[in-house]
Protein backbone atom coordinates (compact mmCIF):
# COMPACT_ATOMS: atom_id res chain seq x y z
CA UNK A 1 0.00 0.00 0.00
CA UNK A 2 1.81 3.08 -1.31
CA UNK A 3 0.58 5.60 1.26
CA UNK A 4 1.81 3.47 4.18
CA UNK A 5 5.10 2.57 2.48
CA UNK A 6 5.85 6.24 1.75
CA UNK A 7 5.07 7.20 5.33
CA UNK A 8 7.37 4.50 6.72
CA UNK A 9 10.19 5.76 4.49
CA UNK A 10 9.55 9.38 5.53
CA UNK A 11 9.19 8.83 9.30
CA UNK A 12 10.19 5.28 10.26
CA UNK A 13 13.42 4.75 12.16
CA UNK A 14 15.29 1.45 12.01
CA UNK A 15 16.59 0.97 15.57
CA UNK A 16 18.65 -2.07 14.50
CA UNK A 17 18.63 -4.60 11.67
CA UNK A 18 15.44 -6.09 13.12
CA UNK A 19 13.38 -3.38 14.88
CA UNK A 20 11.55 -0.52 13.17
CA UNK A 21 10.10 2.38 15.12
CA UNK A 22 6.97 4.06 13.75
CA UNK A 23 5.85 5.94 16.85
CA UNK A 24 4.88 9.08 14.93
CA UNK A 25 1.84 7.62 13.16
CA UNK A 26 1.07 4.14 14.56
CA UNK A 27 2.57 3.05 17.88
CA UNK A 28 2.49 6.18 20.04
CA UNK A 29 0.89 9.01 18.09
CA UNK A 30 -1.78 7.84 15.64
CA UNK A 31 -2.64 9.41 12.28
CA UNK A 32 -6.40 8.76 11.89
CA UNK A 33 -6.42 9.68 8.21
CA UNK A 34 -3.70 7.16 7.43
CA UNK A 35 -5.42 4.53 9.62
CA UNK A 36 -8.68 5.10 7.75
CA UNK A 37 -6.88 4.59 4.43
CA UNK A 38 -5.29 1.42 5.85
CA UNK A 39 -8.74 0.19 6.93
CA UNK A 40 -10.20 0.85 3.49
CA UNK A 41 -7.32 -1.04 1.87
CA UNK A 42 -7.86 -4.07 4.14
CA UNK A 43 -11.59 -3.87 3.38
CA UNK A 44 -10.90 -3.83 -0.36
CA UNK A 45 -8.64 -6.89 -0.05
CA UNK A 46 -10.89 -8.94 2.27
CA UNK A 47 -14.36 -7.79 1.18
CA UNK A 48 -15.28 -11.14 -0.41
CA UNK A 49 -14.03 -13.31 2.48
CA UNK A 50 -17.32 -13.29 4.39
CA UNK A 51 -15.75 -11.62 7.44
CA UNK A 52 -18.07 -11.32 10.47
CA UNK A 53 -15.58 -10.02 13.10
CA UNK A 54 -12.30 -8.12 13.05
CA UNK A 55 -9.94 -9.20 15.83
CA UNK A 56 -6.85 -7.35 17.01
CA UNK A 57 -4.34 -7.22 19.85
CA UNK A 58 -4.10 -4.30 22.25
CA UNK A 59 -2.89 -1.64 21.86
CA UNK A 60 -1.35 -0.76 18.51
CA UNK A 61 -3.68 -2.92 16.43
CA UNK A 62 -6.77 -1.07 17.63
CA UNK A 63 -6.61 2.01 15.41
CA UNK A 64 -6.20 0.20 12.07
CA UNK A 65 -8.62 -2.56 13.16
CA UNK A 66 -11.44 -0.18 14.05
CA UNK A 67 -11.31 1.48 10.62
CA UNK A 68 -11.16 -1.94 8.96
CA UNK A 69 -14.19 -3.09 10.94
CA UNK A 70 -16.07 0.09 10.09
CA UNK A 71 -15.32 -0.36 6.39
CA UNK A 72 -16.43 -4.03 6.52
CA UNK A 73 -19.44 -3.07 8.68
CA UNK A 74 -18.71 -5.69 11.38
CA UNK A 75 -17.75 -5.49 15.10
CA UNK A 76 -14.13 -5.27 16.24
CA UNK A 77 -12.86 -7.37 19.17
CA UNK A 78 -9.69 -6.59 21.17
CA UNK A 79 -7.49 -9.35 22.58
CA UNK A 80 -6.10 -8.35 25.98
CA UNK A 81 -2.58 -8.94 27.19
CA UNK A 82 -2.87 -10.28 30.76
CA UNK A 83 0.17 -10.92 32.91
CA UNK A 84 -1.36 -13.95 34.64
CA UNK A 85 -3.72 -16.80 33.91
CA UNK A 86 -7.41 -16.25 34.63
CA UNK A 87 -9.07 -19.41 35.88
CA UNK A 88 -12.77 -18.56 35.71
CA UNK A 89 -13.75 -20.41 32.54
CA UNK A 90 -15.16 -17.26 30.95
CA UNK A 91 -12.11 -16.66 28.78
CA UNK A 92 -9.77 -18.41 26.35
CA UNK A 93 -6.06 -17.78 26.97
CA UNK A 94 -2.80 -18.62 25.23
CA UNK A 95 0.78 -17.78 26.11
CA UNK A 96 2.75 -15.40 23.83
CA UNK A 97 6.37 -14.25 23.89
CA UNK A 98 6.71 -10.62 22.86
CA UNK A 99 9.17 -9.96 20.03
CA UNK A 100 10.06 -6.43 21.11
CA UNK A 101 10.06 -6.88 24.89
CA UNK A 102 11.21 -10.49 25.24
CA UNK A 103 8.58 -10.99 27.97
CA UNK A 104 5.58 -13.30 27.87
CA UNK A 105 1.91 -12.69 28.54
CA UNK A 106 -1.45 -14.46 28.33
CA UNK A 107 -3.37 -13.32 25.26
CA UNK A 108 -6.99 -13.33 26.42
CA UNK A 109 -10.36 -13.54 24.65
CA UNK A 110 -13.74 -13.44 26.39
CA UNK A 111 -16.10 -16.25 25.36
CA UNK A 112 -18.78 -13.61 24.72
CA UNK A 113 -17.40 -11.97 21.59
CA UNK A 114 -16.38 -14.70 19.14
CA UNK A 115 -18.81 -17.48 18.24
CA UNK A 116 -18.63 -20.78 16.35
CA UNK A 117 -20.10 -19.37 13.14
CA UNK A 118 -17.75 -16.37 13.00
CA UNK A 119 -15.30 -15.79 10.15
CA UNK A 120 -12.57 -13.72 11.71
CA UNK A 121 -10.09 -11.29 10.17
CA UNK A 122 -7.03 -10.83 12.42
CA UNK A 123 -5.34 -7.41 12.10
CA UNK A 124 -1.97 -6.51 13.65
CA UNK A 125 0.55 -3.70 13.28
CA UNK A 126 3.72 -5.78 12.73
CA UNK A 127 4.57 -9.31 11.67
CA UNK A 128 7.97 -10.54 12.89
CA UNK A 129 8.14 -14.19 13.99
CA UNK A 130 4.39 -14.68 13.91
CA UNK A 131 3.99 -15.30 17.66
CA UNK A 132 1.19 -12.76 18.15
CA UNK A 133 -0.76 -13.68 15.01
CA UNK A 134 -0.39 -17.41 15.64
CA UNK A 135 -1.62 -16.92 19.21
CA UNK A 136 -4.58 -14.85 18.04
CA UNK A 137 -5.43 -17.60 15.53
CA UNK A 138 -5.23 -20.23 18.31
CA UNK A 139 -7.80 -18.28 20.34
CA UNK A 140 -10.15 -18.05 17.35
CA UNK A 141 -9.87 -21.81 16.93
CA UNK A 142 -10.44 -22.40 20.67
CA UNK A 143 -13.70 -20.48 20.24
CA UNK A 144 -14.60 -22.88 17.39
CA UNK A 145 -14.58 -20.06 14.83
CA UNK A 146 -12.68 -19.74 11.52
CA UNK A 147 -9.67 -17.55 10.74
CA UNK A 148 -10.70 -16.13 7.36
CA UNK A 149 -7.58 -14.01 6.91
CA UNK A 150 -4.71 -12.16 8.54
CA UNK A 151 -4.01 -8.50 7.69
CA UNK A 152 -0.69 -6.92 8.67
CA UNK A 153 0.41 -3.32 8.22
CA UNK A 154 4.18 -3.88 8.35
CA UNK A 155 5.68 -7.28 7.59
CA UNK A 156 9.38 -7.81 8.20
CA UNK A 157 9.77 -10.37 5.45
CA UNK A 158 13.31 -11.31 6.54
CA UNK A 159 11.82 -12.86 9.68
CA UNK A 160 9.87 -16.10 9.61
CA UNK A 161 6.34 -14.94 10.56
CA UNK A 162 4.80 -15.18 7.09
CA UNK A 163 6.13 -18.64 6.33
CA UNK A 164 4.97 -19.86 9.75
CA UNK A 165 1.45 -18.51 9.14
CA UNK A 166 1.30 -19.81 5.57
CA UNK A 167 2.49 -23.25 6.65
CA UNK A 168 -0.37 -23.27 9.13
CA UNK A 169 -2.71 -22.61 6.17
CA UNK A 170 -3.56 -18.96 6.83
CA UNK A 171 -4.16 -16.35 4.14
CA UNK A 172 -1.83 -13.40 4.89
CA UNK A 173 -2.03 -9.94 3.31
CA UNK A 174 0.60 -7.36 4.30
CA UNK A 175 0.42 -3.73 3.20
CA UNK A 176 4.18 -3.04 3.47
CA UNK A 177 6.73 -5.85 3.14
CA UNK A 178 10.20 -4.95 4.33
CA UNK A 179 13.10 -6.98 2.95
CA UNK A 180 15.92 -5.26 4.85
CA UNK A 181 16.44 -2.94 7.82
CA UNK A 182 19.64 -1.31 9.03
CA UNK A 183 20.90 2.03 10.25
CA UNK A 184 19.24 4.49 7.88
CA UNK A 185 18.08 1.61 5.65
CA UNK A 186 14.50 0.54 4.98
CA UNK A 187 14.01 -1.56 1.85
CA UNK A 188 10.85 -3.17 0.47
CA UNK A 189 10.26 -6.40 -1.40
CA UNK A 190 9.38 -5.66 -5.01
Binding residues for xanthine: 20, 27, 156
Residue 160 binds ligand 5GP (CB under 6 A): no
Residue 128 binds ligand 5GP (CB under 6 A): yes
Count the residues of the shown chain that bind ligand 5GP, applying the rule CB under 6 A: 19
Using CA atoms, how far residue 24 sits from 5, 59, 64, 122, 164, in Å, is: 14, 15, 14, 23, 29
- With contacts defined by CB under 6 A, name the span among 14-22, 48-56, 84-92, 109-117 that binds ligand 5GP: 14-22
Q: Considering only residues 43, 157, 161, 175, which one is a binding residue for ligand 5GP as defined by CB under 6 A?
A: 161
Q: Are 126 and 152 in contact (CB under 8 A)?
A: yes
Query: What torsion do the CA atoms of 49, 32, 76, 96 make, to the nearest 10 degrees?
Result: 100
- Give 20 or 143: the residue with its C-beta nearer to ligand 5GP: 20
- Give 52 or 56: the residue with its C-beta nearer to ligand 5GP: 56
Residue 99 binds ligand 5GP (CB under 6 A): yes
Q: Are 186 and 166 in contact (CB under 8 A)?
A: no
- Give 67 or 126: the residue with its C-beta nearer to ligand 5GP: 126
Decide: helix, strand or coil at residue 91.
Answer: strand
Decide: helix, strand or coil at residue 108.
Answer: strand
Residue 131 binds ligand 5GP (CB under 6 A): yes
Amino acid sequence: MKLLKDRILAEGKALSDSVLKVDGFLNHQVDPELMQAVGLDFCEHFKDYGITRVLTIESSGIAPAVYTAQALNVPMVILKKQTSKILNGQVFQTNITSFTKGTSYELTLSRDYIHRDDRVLIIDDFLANGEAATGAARLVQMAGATVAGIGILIEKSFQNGRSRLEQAGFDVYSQARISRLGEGIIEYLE
